[in-house]
Amino acid sequence: MTNPQSAISVQSVSKSFGRGDSAIKVLQDVAVEIGTREFFTLLGPSGCGKTTLLRLIAGFEELDSGSILIDGERVDHLPPFRRPVNTVFQNYALFPHLSVAQNVAFALEMQSLSRAEVIRRAGEALEMVRMAAFANRKPSELSGGQQQRVALARALAPRPKVLLLDEPLSALDLKLRKQMQIELKQLQAEAGITFVFVTHDQEEALTLSDRIAVMQGGRILQLDTPRAIYERPSHRFVADFIGDINLLEGKVDGGAIQLDCGASVAGNFGHAPGDRVTVAIRPERARLAKSGEGSFAAEVMHSAYLGTATLLQLRLADGREFLLRETRIGEGAAPPEKGSRVSVHLPDSALQVFAA
């Protein structure tokens, strides 16, 4: 089943820590094919095994079972220094006793290049992250964002086939993080390197990635493009984890779903009559409607003007909250006031239904 195009191929990998009864299964039968030059993201809540998977690829942990291939060659028995991947560590792990230039030159020196070549390529790498002016500083004399760039340059300098990045932006403030996201994406395109990127920030994952693997409890739940993951989540967990979403409980009743809030949705979406299901809908896909066919009543709890849209916090008949993001409240048309009653329409095409 080995895909010849894969930069990285992770095949039914399992990993647990500890022995015997106290062993914790951290990864269970994980399989991923990551393409060449792909920006691939591992996304999931804290403790779901993202770092562990990255460390297995880098070689800092040993597999229990399965195999890992890089460019078609098995690497899972190789020590980290023999694997053609480099890591950008979450805490950067810059060598505090070496200057910025020496940090970046470290891997190049290991590759027994000539002195001139080492200096040239370290310079190039620093240029690429616009840190050439800081070459002689010590890491402790840099800001967080600057350290992050040096860590990136250090990992890119030896031109690895794959770059592993473990939440590289999590220590930065929002503004700098946005800026570094754009730079990362550009850099990846320019250098033509496969990125395996770890984050628990879903927005970051959606903007940057070619494909995302959503993980939970040591398994990959869904592996797809950002658009598919956002629009067609395969699990209730994925739907809930990525972006805002309304989850409405209900029961399949003949050819329709009867929601607990009183409304009903036409169609059974492939579930058998009597099944408990969860109907999911994004706040921006629900609509304010004229009362009547296929809509249900709700009370406005809070209305927040966001500039590009108005976010309404509604209360349904069963007391549940419902978020509705309305972009069509245009000039003149005032948003519904707090306490007023509105009716909400759920377009069939916007619904996802999961077994509850």
Ligand X SMILES: Nc1ncnc2c1ncn2[C@@H]1O[C@H](COP(=O)(O)OP(=O)(O)OP(=O)(O)O)[C@@H](O)[C@H]1O
Closest of 15, 40, 25 to residue 198, by C-alpha: 40
Q: 45 vs 273, which CB is nearer to Mg ion? A: 45
Minimum Å gap between C-beta 48 and ligand X is: 4
Look at the block and give the residue holding tokens 């036409």.
266
In angstroms, the CA 152 to CA 129 distance is 8
- Stretch touching ligand X by CB under 6 A, among 46-54, 219-227, 236-244, 342-350: 46-54
216 binds ligand X (CB under 6 A): no
Residue 101 interface partner, choices another protein, Mg ion, ligand X, none, CB cut-off 5-8 Å depending on type: none
Q: 12 vs 91, which CB is nearer to another protein? A: 91
Question: Where on the phi/psi map is residue 256: left (φ > 0), alpha (ψ -120 to 50), or beta?
Answer: beta
Q: Which long-range contacts (CB under 8 A, 24 or more apart) does 221-230 make?
A: 223/32, 230/206
Residue 143 interface partner, choices ligand X, Mg ion, another protein, none, CB cut-off 5-8 Å depending on type: none
What is the contact surface with another protein in residues (CB under 8 A)?
58-60, 79-81, 85-87, 89, 91, 93-97, 106-107, 110-111, 154-155, 158
202 binds ligand X (CB under 6 A): no
Look at the block and give the residue holding tokens 């399965």.
66
Specify whether the CB–CB gap between 86 and 163 falls below 8 A. yes
Structure tokens at 266: 């036409």
Minimum Å gap between C-beta 50 and ligand X is: 4
Residue 355 interface partner, choices Mg ion, ligand X, another protein, none, CB cut-off 5-8 Å depending on type: none
In angstroms, the CA 161 to CA 278 distance is 43
State how beta strands 211-216 and 24-35 pair.
unpaired
- Stretch touching ligand X by CB under 6 A, among 44-52, 109-117, 256-264, 271-279: 44-52
Burial classification of residue 125, based on how many CB atoms lie within 10 Å of its CB (0-12 exposed, 13-18 middle, 19 or more buried): buried
Residue 49 interface partner, choices Mg ion, ligand X, another protein, none, CB cut-off 5-8 Å depending on type: ligand X
Minimum Å gap between C-beta 201 and another protein is: 21
Residue 238 interface partner, choices another protein, ligand X, Mg ion, none, CB cut-off 5-8 Å depending on type: none
30 binds ligand X (CB under 6 A): no
In angstroms, the CA 232 to CA 230 distance is 6
Binding site for ligand X (CB under 6 A): 17, 24, 26, 44, 46-52, 200
